[in-house]
Amino acid sequence: MGANESGYIGQSLRRKEDRRFLTGAGQYTDDVTLPHQTHAYFVRSPHAHAKIRSIDTSKAAKAPGVVAIYTGGDLEGVGGLPCGWLITSVDGTPMKEPPHPVLAKGKVRHVGDQVALVVAETRNQAKDAAELVDVDYEVLPAVTNPVEALAPGAPQIHDEAPGNHCYTWALGDKGAVDAAFAKAAHVTKLDLVNNRLIPNAIEPRAALASHSASDDSYTLYVTSQNPHVERLLMAAFVLGLPEHKLRVIAPDVGGGFGSKIYLYAEETALVWASKRVGRPIKWVAERSESFLTDAHGRDHVTHAELALDKDGRFLAMRVNTTAAMGAYLSTFASCIPTILYATLLAGQYTTPAIHCEVKAAFTNTAPVDAYRGAGRPEATYVVERIVREAAVEMGIAQDEIRRRNFIRTFPYQTPVALMYDTGNYDQTLDGASELADVKGFTARKAEAAKRGKLRGLGYSSYIEACGLAPSNIAGALGARAGLFEAGQVRVNPTGSVTVFTGSHSHGQGHETTFAQIVATRLGIPVDNVDVVHGDTGRVAFGMGTYGSRSLAVGGTAIVKALDKIVGKGRKIAAHLLEAAESDIEFKDGKFTVAGTDRSKTFGEIALTAYVPHNYPLDKLEPGLDETAFYDPTNFTFPAGTHICEVEIDPDTGVVEVVRFSACDDFGNIVNPMIVEGQVHGGLTQGIGQALLEACVYDPESGQLLTGSYMDYAMPRADDVPSYQVSTRVTPCTVNPLGTKGCGEAGAIGSPPALINAVLDALAPVGVTHLDMPATPHRVWQAIQSAKAAA
Amino acid sequence: MGIAISMTVNGAAVSAEIDPRTLLVDFLRVNLGLTGTHVGCDTAQCGACTIHLDGRAVKACNLLALQANGAKVTTIEGLAGNGDLHPMQAAFKECHGLQCGFCTPGMVMSAIDLVQRHPGADEATIRAQLEGNLCRCTGYHNIVKAVQQGAAAMSR
């Protein structure tokens, strides 16, 4: 496909990265093998909460092939894993940050907590030896539910966090909210559980660490979404290594969804041990380890109230949420149910007053952190569930109550800190209604009823905030990291281009999308552009990929670098063409003296920069290689409406998603095919949460009951329909590309659309409430309870 | 304790002495360096390790290498001939049926087997037949399209 007038922008180019993935030539961490590598296996706690009386490794040490065994006591001088966001409680005290040891010290706090590292010649030998490590545990009572964890008398997980309390945080004007409720014509109240999820990237986490004696440096291959952040945290905060002595490479990564953002104990232990062992060490998680130890998502318990006037206009919202942190604070755990949650509670609506209080609790479970959407799905679920309830209670149509409350004037300052720059919520609601053929729903419902089936339609008009920024404001809110991105454009002497980006691609297709931007701007074939990412040894710096930020923030950093390239090219062209720099125009790959036919091609300029014989050496450095860092001035605000249609068999409780329509506004779009793919994937994860997935711990023992694909219901091909998706565009005003981000929208908008559809279908049989996931068992029970109550 | 096995992998005869408990997937990945076949779950649930054993799609994490003794094995590396993608590989690229690429080799191997068993399969059949392969990225929408397009190309 060639470039048209707007270059490659807006074209569904097939992906540059696909050939290697389709032929088995991808290089994932477990595909990398180093000479003389050893293999690691972790001894993990079988208990949710226990004291470690003693660890005897003597028998294991004598097992065949064992190279070394390490326990917490061996890690002298090694720090704990840090949390990257400080949340301050309403009483002004900082959140409780108990130690998060790389290997357990004295106590274990969740099933799967790592107790010892066994290194052996082969994976099987390491595993066999691990079984011989004798750990004497004194089992303690456990608590896995965040509300129960905060109740008086709950088992105490950390000495540093009395009552398992991490923080109590609030946002919004409580006085204004109370005043608005006092004069409300109608108040809708709702209790909600946002079910805990296990991310389940299909590639399990893995690491391969090695130490070079020649220059005392380390190399870590790891399944990471943000290798530079991983390096910074591990080197500076945990192992005390000089940052330049640690190279982190995240090669091809098989999905992340948030779970590979974090600094984990396993790779940290491997880097530490690699110098002591003197050989490379590889670890690959088994799927059961992924279930037990990958950071989980969601796990909120919420009470919400919405105040309305007599016409169904929202006056105020009050939200109280208890959020689980798990046994330890994962890298960004603390900011998810606060900064990325409460700030989204205005949704697409003009609600003038909102107050949200969040209590965070430690629990004897895997840590909870960002999972696709990260706080924003939880907020959207609260808003869109309660809006539906209010509409039902007041007898207002679902689309009508939304339209009565839509924000239509931009920029718009919400009462929960965000400033929406642009949007048009009517047009995405219109678009979704068309796709969903809402007009034909009554007939379809009647037809289904003839077959004894219940049909329902559910709406969700979501908003999200992507490209978390700017760094200084985030810093004032507790962020301990910057939120910029880096991009480097290296023009090679022959005019081909290598782009180095701090964004990481693990399915998002950056190698194609970013190349489209660069090729368009420089007027060169897209095949002449390669994108490099995921290697601290090659890429200048980067904050990585999370929060749908790659194009809006990482893409803009590349645009800024391109500006510098074109600016320098103009200077070189002015010299060659003996014209004033201000007279040089750059278009379609040519630098031209305005109003003349005198020009130099981009390739000629590149060659001149590297062979500077006729060159203004007194004024200009040779070479054509520019780096830019971009720190956005605001979030971006993708938004849209999702409409779900379900059909329920009342005899079995089985819910079938018969139609799912999504109309989204992601701002300008570079590659529509990739954007649609992101939406499809997000929708399926959201439908998975609403229909199938639930992480369940036994409340007594704290054992994970959903620890395999036999017990944890992942969406499979026959659980979901083909989707109907479309987009509308209001260009983002924050960045020069006008893009907003599309990676998480599907997972944010879809859960309430599905549950609202289920509740709509079940309304005739008297069901008024249901928590996710809407499994056949749960739906059938709800129907039976409603019948019994009638 | 080693035991001798031999088989044909992607058209080439291979033989080795292995630990009898070696899984077929480890034999392919570690002994033969064919890392295109992936391990996603170790319990035969996710399908990332799907290969063809004597023409049938099987999950290589759930077989001992010994069980493939004397068999004809095809992995994702053996599909493309003379540098051209197999029609199913080409369809996955054309339809954007892959994102992170990790489930892709298994998905493609399953899809080819599916089409051989159900030529002209409709969407419902394709979805039901892909039940043994998990994908967390694509939402299956474009995989289903790719299988339909690949099936049409294979029948030509």
Q: How far apart are CA A22 and CA B88, in angstroms?
A: 10
| Beta carbons of A287 and B75 less than 8 Å apart | no
* CA nearest neighbour of A509 among B86, B142, B39, B33: B142
Band of pLDDT at residue B82, cut at 50, 70 and 90 = confident
Of A683, A716, A718, the CB nearest to B134: A716
Q: What is the DSSP letter of A561?
A: H
Rounded Cα distance between A431 and B85, Å, is 38
Looking at the structure, do residues A501 and A540 belong to the same domain, yes or no? yes
CA-to-CA separations, A23 to A26, A32, A226, B48, B110, in angstroms, rounded: 8, 17, 26, 14, 15
Q: Across the beta sheet with A281-284, what order do the strands follow? A: A66-71, A114-120, A38-44, A281-284, A206-212, A217-222, A246-249
Q: Report d(CA A682, CA A296) in Å as an integer.
A: 17
Asked if B43 lies within 8 A of A673 by C-beta distance, the reply is no
Are the beta carbons of A684 and B101 separated by less than 8 Å? no
Residues 6 or more apart from A399 whose CB is under 8 A from it? A429, A433, A438, A459
Residue showing tokens 């994702």: B76
Q: Contact B136/A676, CB-based, under 8 Å?
A: no
Please identify which residue in the block is written with the tokens 């080409």: B90
Tell me which of B78, B101, B134 is where a domain ends: B78
Contact A18 B92 (CB under 8 A): yes
Q: Is A31 in Cβ contact with B85 (below 8 Å)? A: no
Task: Answer yes or no: do A580 and A708 share one domain.
Answer: no
Mutation target to probe the A interface, by most A beta carbons within 10 A, among B22, B100, B127, B135 is: B100
Under-70 pLDDT residues of chain A = 1-5
The nearest CA of chain B is from the CA of A20 a distance in Å of 9
Look at B40 and A31 and tell me if their CB atoms are within 8 Å. Answer: no
Query: What is the interface pTM, i.e. ipTM, of the complex?
Result: 0.98
Task: Based on the fold, state whether residues A606 and A659 are members of the same structural domain.
Answer: no
**Looking at beta carbons, which residues of chain A come within 8 Å of B140?**
680, 684, 715-717, 720
Q: How many domains does chain A have?
A: 3
Same domain, A575 and A671: no
Same domain, A54 and A103: yes
User: Are A514 and A542 found together in one domain?
Assistant: yes
List Cα–Cα distances, B21 to A21, A40, A513, B111, in angstroms: 29, 19, 45, 29
Q: Could you tell me if B94 and B58 lie in one domain? A: no
Taking one residue from A and the other from B, the number of pairs with CB-CB distance under 8 angstroms is 180
Contact A296, A199 (CB under 8 A): yes
Do A665 and A774 sit in the same domain of this protein? Answer: yes
User: What's the CATH code of the domain at A785?
Assistant: 3.30.365.10
Residue A1's pLDDT is: 39
Same domain? For B99 and B46 the reply is no
B106 & B132 share domain: yes
Last residue of a domain, one of A567, A596, A630: A630
Helix or strand (DSSP H, E) at A689: helix A672-691
> Which contiguous run of DSSP H or E holds residue A780?
helix A776-789
On whether residue A559 sits in a domain, the answer given is yes
pLDDT for position A6? 74
Q: Which residues from chain A sit within 8 angstroms of residue B80, using beta carbons?
A: 23
Nearest CA in chain B to A18: B93
Tokens matching residue A327: 């046994």
d(C-alpha A443, C-alpha A449), whole Å: 10
The answer on A695 and A653 residing in a single domain is yes
| Long-range residue pairs from A568-573, CB within 8 A, at least 24 positions apart, any chain | A568/A609, A568/A620, A568/A624, A568/A626, A569/A602, A569/A605, A569/A609, A569/A624, A571/A616, A571/A619, A571/A620, A572/A605, A572/A608, A572/A609, A572/A615, A572/A616, A572/A620, A573/A599, A573/A600, A573/A605
Report yes or no on A646 lying in a domain: yes
Identify all chain B residues contacting A15, using CB atoms and an 8 Å cutoff.
Answer: 93, 96
Helix pair angle (A745-762, A776-789), 10° resolution: 30
Judge if B143 and B91 occupy the same domain. Answer: yes
Question: Is the CB of B135 less than 8 angstroms away from the CB of A202?
Answer: yes
Q: Give the Cβ contact number of residue A760 at 10 Å.
A: 23
Tell me which residue in A252, A685, A714 faces B134 most closely, judged by beta carbons.
A714
Q: Do A746 and B39 touch (CB under 8 A)?
A: no
Question: Bridge-partner residues for A739, per DSSP?
Answer: A667
Nearest chain A Cα distance for residue B62, angstroms: 14
DSSP label at residue A631: -
For residue A685, CA distances in Å to A158, A170, A197, A714 come to 33, 29, 10, 9
Q: Under an 8 A CB cutoff, do A28 and B140 touch? A: no
**Short-list A49, A135, A43, CA closest to A700:** A49
Q: Taking a C-beta distance cutoff of 8 angstroms, is the pair A211, A238 a contact?
A: no
Instruction: Among A22, A292, A675, A692, pick the best mutation site for testing chain B contact (most B Cβ within 10 A).
Output: A22
**Pair A674, A608 in one domain:** no
Q: What is the CATH number of the domain that holds B150?
A: 1.10.150.120
Contact between chains at A683 and B94 (C-beta distance less than 8 A): no
Nearest by CB: B100 against A507, A680, A720: A507
Nearest one of A50, A34, A31, A166 to A106, comparing CA atoms: A50
Q: Which domain holds residue B42?
A: 3-78
Do B22 and B72 belong to one domain? Answer: yes
Q: Pick from B22, B54, B78: which residue ends a domain?
A: B78
Q: Cβ A24–B144 below 8 Å, yes or no?
A: no
Q: Which long-range contacts (CB under 8 A, 24 or more apart) does A394-402 make?
A: A394/A186, A394/A308, A394/A312, A396/A312, A398/A457, A398/A458, A398/A459, A398/A756, A399/A429, A399/A433, A399/A438, A399/A459, A400/A312, A401/A312, A402/A348, A402/A349, A402/A429, A402/A459, A402/A461, A402/A641
Q: Which of B142, B152, B144, B104 is nearest to B124 (CA)?
A: B144
Identify from B99, B109, B112 which residue to disrupt to test chain A contact, counting A C-beta atoms within 10 A and taking the largest count: B99
List of chain B residues whose C-beta atoms are within 8 Å of the C-beta of residue A257: 136
Helix (H, G, I), strand (E, B) or coil at B155: helix
DSSP state of A235: I
How close does chain A come to B110, measured CA to CA in Å?
13
Specify if A95 maps to a domain. yes
Same domain, residue pair B108 and B69: no
Contact status, residue A734 vs residue A631, Cβ threshold 8 Å: no
Set of chain B residues whose Cβ sits within 8 Å of the Cβ of A16: none
Residues A199-250: tens digit of each pLDDT: 999 999 999 999 999 999 999 999 999 999 999 999 999 999 999 999 999 9
Handedness of CA A785, A655, A373, A369 (dihedral sign): positive
Identify the domain boundary among B18, B45, B78: B78
Q: How far is B6 from chain A (nearest CA, A)?
A: 22
For residue A62, what is the domain's CATH number?
3.90.1170.50
Residues A772 and A721 in one domain: yes
Contacts of B150 in chain A (CB under 8 A): none
Angstrom distance (rounded) from CA A672 to CA A656: 28
| Residue listed under structure tokens 């540093």 | A160
- For A435, half-sphere exposure in the C-beta direction (CA atoms, 13 angstrom radius) is 26
Say how far apart CA A447 and CA A256 lie, in whole Å: 42
Q: How far is A540 from chain B (nearest CA, A)?
A: 24
Instruction: Give the model's confidence band at B83: pLDDT under 50 very low, under 70 low, under 90 confident, else very high.
Output: confident
Q: Is A403 helix (H, G, I), strand (E, B) or coil?
A: helix
Which residues of chain A does B144 touch, with a Cβ-Cβ cutoff of 8 Å?
A: 717, 722
Beta bridge partners of A117: A42, A70
Residue A152 lies in a domain: no
**Are A639 and A624 in the same domain?**
no
- What pLDDT is stored for residue A469 in this prediction? 86
pLDDT of B141-152, one tens digit each? Answer: 999 999 999 999
Q: Which CATH number characterizes residue B62's domain?
A: 3.10.20.30
Q: Are residues A743 and A771 in the same domain?
A: yes
Q: Which of B39, B130, B139 minimises the CB distance to A683?
A: B139
Residue A36 φ then ψ, to 5°: 65, 25
Instruction: Please state the domain count of chain B.
Output: 2
- Tell me what pLDDT residue B1 has: 63
Q: From the candidates A27, A41, A202, which should be mutated to test the interface with B, based on the most B CB atoms within 10 A?
A: A202
Measure CB to CB from residue B42 to each of A22, A287, A508 and give the nearest one. Answer: A287
Tell me which residue in A201, A509, A720 faces B139 most closely, judged by beta carbons: A720
**Is the Cβ–Cβ distance between B9 and B69 less than 8 Å?**
no
Query: Is A325 a member of any domain?
Result: no
Say if the Cβ atoms of B39 and A19 lie within 8 Å: no
List the single residue in B with minimal CA-CA distance to A290: B41
Instruction: Give me the residue from A24, A124, A710 closest to B76, CB to CB.
Output: A24
Residue B156 pLDDT > 90: no
Domain, as residue range, for A97: 32-140+203-254+260-293
